Amino acid sequence: MWVVKIGGSLMGTQALDGWLDALVQFGDGKIVIVPGGGVFADAVRDAQAKTGMDDATAHQMAVVAMDQYAMLMTGINANLAIASSELEIAEYGWQHRAIVWKPSPMVLADMDLPQSWSLTSDSIAAWLAAKLDAAHLIVIKSMPMSNAETVDVKDLLMRNFVDPYFAEYTAGKSFRTWLVGKDEFIKIKSPMTHQSNPQFGVEVISSS
> What is the pLDDT, as a whole number, of residue 142?
81
Strand partners, 2: 31, 136
Question: Cβ distance 8 to 45 under 8 Å?
Answer: no
Specify the pTM: 0.95
* Domain coordinates in residue numbering, the chain: 2-205
C-alpha distances in angstroms, 175 versus 57, 73, 122, 142, 143? 31, 25, 14, 23, 23
> What is the pLDDT, as a whole number, of residue 164?
95
Angle at 42 between CA 142 and CA 16, to 5 degrees: 35
Q: Which value, to the nearest 10 degrees, does the dihedral of the CA atoms of residues 94, 30, 34, 201 take?
A: 180
Show Cβ contacts of residue 139 under 8 Å, excluding neighbours closer than 6 positions.
Answer: 5, 7, 122, 125, 162, 177, 178, 179, 180, 204
Question: Cβ distance 6 to 179 under 8 Å?
Answer: no
Class assignment of domain 2-205?
A: alpha beta
Across all residues in the chain, what is the average pLDDT? 93
pLDDT in tens, 118-159: 999 999 999 999 999 999 999 998 876 667 789 999 999 998
Question: Cβ distance 152 to 193 under 8 Å?
Answer: no
pLDDT in tens, 98-129: 999 999 999 999 999 999 999 999 999 999 99
